[in-house]
Structure 1
Amino acid sequence: MRFRYVYQKVVDLKSNEKTQAEWMLSAAVGHLQSEQRSLDRLFEDKRATFSVIQSEMENKASVIKLQELQRYVDYLEQCITSKLRDVKRAEIHVENKKSFLNSKMLDEKVWLKAKEKEQDKFQHEMLLREQNELDEMATVRFAMRAR
């Protein structure tokens, strides 16, 4: 006789939900990394622009050119501020997905533990049946020899 868990479909569902939660967390982490790379590029652009401003000042560049570069730096500052908000939202999203995954993992673990207990109970009952059959066979043999 083979063990069949009556709630196996629920266990499978919980496992699938956990897998989907893992995928969602992975996507959220990927989005966060993308936002952080974008922010790093903005900081690098700002540093590069400051370097250009420095070299233009040493070369006695025109005021118009320096004003243009300063406006670009101001624009980069606005972009950095916006991107920092995006990164923060992405971090919060990752934390939410981690929490969701933890709840799905706990849910799956509960169902797997219930299945394991049921399987242990089944195996124990099978061992008892087997032992009873062996005891009955021994009793019959003993009775046959006693005659």
Structure 2
Amino acid sequence: MNYHYKFEKILDVKEREKDEALSAYQNAIRAFENVARELYTLLKKKEDLESYQAEKMASGLSVQKIRHYRKFIDDMEKTINHYQQLVVKARNQMNWYQQKLQEKNIEVKKYEKMRDKDYSRFLEKLKMLEEKQADEISTQAFFRKS
């Protein structure tokens, strides 16, 4: 007697959905990391530029150069603000995909647990059937000896 789980196809679909959710989550992580890395690079450039400007101002700097650096830093701050918003969006998206992945994991676990319980019941029935057959065989053997 072979075991067949009646919800096997549903479990396969749920596992496929979980794999797709995992892939989407991993893509969201990569997108978040890329945007965060770019933000870090911009912040580092801004910090380096401000320290360079402070050095130059200590040794004397023309008003034109001060304006130039200030304009460049202002533009960089706008870019940094934009990337900060992108980081927030990417983090929110990553968290959303993580939540979906957790939901899919829970669904798969439910079906796996149902399968395990069903398989246990199958084994119990199989054992009872074997015991019944063994009883019948021993009963027949007893009657043959009598």
Normalising by structure 2, we get a TM-score of 0.96
- The code of the aligned residue for 1:82 comes to H
Query: Counterparts of 1:129 and 1:42 in 2: how far apart (Å)?
Result: 72
CA-to-aligned-CA distance 1:81-105 (integer Å, 9 cap, x gap):
1111100001110111111111111
Kept in 2, the 8 Å contact 1:46–1:76? The answer is yes
Aligned counterparts, 1:104-143, within 5 A: 104-143=104-143
RMSD between superposed Cα atoms in Å: 1.0
Partner of residue 32, structure 2:
32
Structure 2 unaligned blocks of 5 or more: none
TM-score by length of 1: 0.95
% identical equivalent positions: 23
Residues 39, 83 of structure 1: 8 Å contact kept: yes
Matched pairs, number: 146
Alignment match, 2:95: 95
Q: Which residue number corresponds to residue 42 of structure 1? A: 42
| Deviation at residue 24 of structure 1 after TM alignment | 0.8
**Deviating runs (4+, > 4 A) in structure 1?**
none
Contact 1:56 1:66 in 2 (8 A): no
Per mean C-alpha deviation after superposition, the further-off stretch among 81-90 and 55-64 is 55-64
Gaps of 5+ in 1: none
Partner Cα separation in structure 1 for residue 33 and residue 111 of structure 2: 34
